[in-house]
Amino acid sequence: MSEVQILESVRQFMARQHGHFVHGKWIAPATSERIELLNPATEQVIATIAVGGQEEVEQAVQSAHDAFTNDWANTSPYERGVKLNKLADLVEQHAEELAQLETLSTGKLINLSRHLEVAQSVVFLRYFAGWATKIHGQTMQPSIPSMNGEKYTAYTVRQPVGVVAGIVPWNFSLMIGIWKIGSALTTGCTIVIKPSEFATLTLLRLVELALEAGIPAGVINVVTGKGDTGQHLIHSSLVKKVSFTGSVPTGIAIGKQAMSSDLTRVSLELGGKNAAAILADACIDEILPTLLQATFVHQGQVCAAPERFFIHQSKYDEFVQKVSGALQQLKIGSPLDESSMFGPLSNQPHFDKVKHYLHLAQKNNQVISGGHAIQGTGYFVEPTLLKVQGVDDPLFLEETFGPVVDVIPFTSDEELIAMMNHSRFGLTASLWTNDLAKALRLIPQIEAGSIWVNMHTFLDPSVPFGGIKASGVGREFSDAFIEDYTELKSVMIRY
Ligand code: NDP
């Protein structure tokens, strides 16, 4: 099958000399330094972006602060919801354009960009829009004794924290950006976004759509660049909250810096080494399509996806044989070809990182299936299944963030839980079983922020999401995000 035709609007957008988006306008970068964005399937330059320094970051933060205290503060909750819904409509109308930009930038299969990245972004935006009118405090009846007949009452009110710094990774650049934008705007905050240097274009297009949706200038700003740009942002004194999604080392550094910078609030959505446990009663043929889809979607570059399969000893041989067979059937190819089932990794540094793990596995004879980078143009590797050399093996402990999965047999529930929890991470886990009683007994023992049964890697806006242990601090979605984006103010009245 041939590749989808690139829209003229996409070509024109990529050809632009992009600057930063501040106060509803494109501003010229202060320096001439530019970053080349490569298509990971072809290694060709598709666009360039500017590198934001202190000056541009301060301009963006000041603009967000002004909007926070003026236009956005004067916008009613109902209007905020209407504008977010309007943005959702515009994302839907520009879905193919955004999907193509995402695929060209990150190597995500075009159908995944269309049906997950863009379609789910719309779902999340509408969900957040609904919250705008539902954020409220409580009333309390204090117990202070009345001496002279006076009475007391008290209430709480939730107020937006102010300017949010949103730092976004490259794997779901649009959707994760929208999680931060939706959370900020619906609670009445404003935001400055720093996209990943590897996946910037979709958010640059989104802010134009936001302006078209009637979201006032300054409410959403974008400054592009590398880690240094993010550093300027989190150190700005007008930033009241940092919302970071990315790797554990960067997250820990940012968390420390934010706390030491006037206790700036910080939420961290970090990595994982997630476990999927296939219990003795599971029917391998039945679970395989869902499990493999959840594991190898976007070439495994999904924070929530499993990287460790624990299989009951009685099913181990059958499982390994069937998974290896299924992986060899995946058609690897151009992400713009609708018939491809597996595309490239998203960028060169990540390709190098995954190749390092593949070499390690080869050196130690641990490869069961796959295990190679694919020769030629583009950052392609084979989907890979590995044995591990015990629970202290780096391949058991370290996040590859790629299509590289361990298979580990177990015999008892105790052994399973001990191995699943033997990790510094605690993002997600899944149990594959029809024995509901056993699942309900195991769930409290598993150290993870999200646990699925007979599914994995499904994020829904109505269900809180976030990690424990080194996988993060804070929760997104549901009503859990409100705590992070608002201050709870208490008022007591004597009358
Ligand atoms: P990084 O931590 O490398 O980068 C994340 C973002 O932080 C990027 O925008 C990056 O900019 C920026 N950044 C890098 N260094 C600094 C710094 N010192 N100060 C401020 N900002 C900085 O992560 P990746 O982009 O490589 O993303 C992959 C990681 O993200 C994986 O570990 C994955 O598990 C995790 N992740 C977690 C999710 C969750 O919800 N828990 C969801 C998705 C991913 P630049 O790219 O320009 O370097």
Mind giving me the DSSP string for 289-351?
Answer: HHHHHHHHGGGG--TTSEEEEEEEGGGHHHHHHHHHHHHHHS-B--TTBTT-SB---S-HHHH
DSSP secondary structure letter of residue 199? B
CA–CA gap between residue 458 and residue 221 (Å, rounded)? 29
Distance 191 CA to ligand 1 centre (A): 18
CATH code of the region 8-270+472-492: 3.40.605.10
Q: Which atom of ligand 1 is nearest to the CA of 234?
A: 20
108 contacts: CB under 8 Å, gap ≥ 6: 102, 117, 298, 335, 343, 346
Q: What per-residue confidence (pLDDT) applies to 435?
A: 98
Which residue, 338, 302, 300, 299, is CA-closest to 110? Answer: 338
Q: Are strands 367-369 and 384-386 parallel, antiparallel or unpaired?
A: antiparallel
Consecutive 10-residue runs of the chain (495 residues): their mean pLDDT?
A: 93 97 96 97 98 97 98 96 98 98 98 98 98 98 95 98 98 98 98 98 98 98 97 96 97 95 94 98 98 98 98 98 97 98 98 98 97 98 97 97 98 98 98 98 98 97 98 97 97 98
Residue 261 has a pLDDT of 87
Nearest CA to ligand 1 atom 42: 303
Pocket of ligand 1 (CB under 6 A): 167-171, 194, 196-198, 226-227, 230-231, 245-247, 250, 253-254, 269-272, 303, 399, 401, 427, 467, 472
Region label for 466, one of left (φ > 0), alpha (ψ between -120 and 50) or beta (otherwise): left
- Residue 99: the pLDDT is 98
DSSP string computed for 398-457: S---SSEEEEEEE-SHHHHHHHHT-SSEESEEEEE-S-HHHHHHHGGGS--SEEEES--S
Best residue among 196, 197, 267, 351 to mutate for probing ligand 1's pocket (most ligand atoms within 8 Å of CB) is: 196
Ligand 1 atom index nearest CA of 198: 46
CA 26/CA 20 separation, integer angstroms: 6
CA angle 126, 129, 133 (to 5 degrees): 145
| CA 360 to ligand 1 centroid distance, Å | 24
Q: What is the pLDDT of residue 143?
A: 96
Look up tokens 């493999």; give the residue. 292
Q: Which atom of ligand 1 is nearest to the CA of 199?
A: 46
**What's the CA-to-centroid distance between 168 and ligand 1, angstroms?**
6
Ligand 1 centroid–CA 180 distance in Å is 14
Centre of ligand 1 from the C-alpha of residue 324, in Å: 31
Catalytic residue among 97, 117, 269, 382: 269
Active site residue 269: yes
Atom number, ligand 1, closest to the C-alpha of residue 250: 2
pLDDT at 262: 87
How close is the Cα of 309 to the center of ligand 1, in Å?
25
Atom of ligand 1 nearest to the CA of 248: 32
Q: Are 305 and 297 in contact (CB under 8 A)?
A: yes
Residue whose CA is at the smallest distance from ligand 1 atom 30: 246
Give the pLDDT score at 2. Answer: 86
CA 269 to ligand 1: nearest atom: 41
CA-to-CA distance for 402 and 87, rounded, in angstroms? 32
| 9 and 208 Cβ atoms separated by less than 8 Å | no
Instruction: List the chain domain ranges.
Output: 8-270+472-492, 274-460
Q: What angle do CA 370, 345, 254 make, to 5 degrees?
A: 120
Distance (angstroms) between ligand 1 centre and the Cα of 215 equals 27
pLDDT for 55 equals 96
Pocket test for ligand 1, best of 172, 232, 303, 450 (most atoms within 8 A of CB): 303
User: Which residue has a Cα nearest atom 18 of ligand 1?
Assistant: 227
Atom of ligand 1 lying closest to residue 194 CA:
9
Cα-based distances in Å from 70 to 162, 179, 238 = 12, 23, 15
Best of 222, 247, 254 to mutate for ligand 1, by most ligand atoms within 8 A of CB? Answer: 247
Fold of the domain spanning 274-460? Aldehyde Dehydrogenase; Chain A, domain 2 (3.40.309)
* pLDDT at 1 (0 to 100): 62
Distance 221 CA to ligand 1 centre (A): 19
Dist. CA 222–CA 165, nearest whole Å: 10
Q: What residue spans of 213-315 are helical by DSSP H? A: 227-235, 248-260, 284-296
Rg of the chain taking only CA atoms, in angstroms: 24
**Type and span of the H or E element at 177:** helix 173-187
For a ligand 1 pocket test, name from 34, 171, 274, 350 the mutation site with the most ligand atoms within 8 angstroms of its C-beta.
171
Distance of CA 431 to the CA centre of its chain: 23
The model's pLDDT over 18-50, given as tens digits with 9 standing for 90+, comes to 999 999 999 999 999 999 999 999 999 999 999
What local confidence, expressed as pLDDT, does residue 421 receive?
A: 98
Ligand 1 mean position to 253 CA, how many Å? Answer: 11
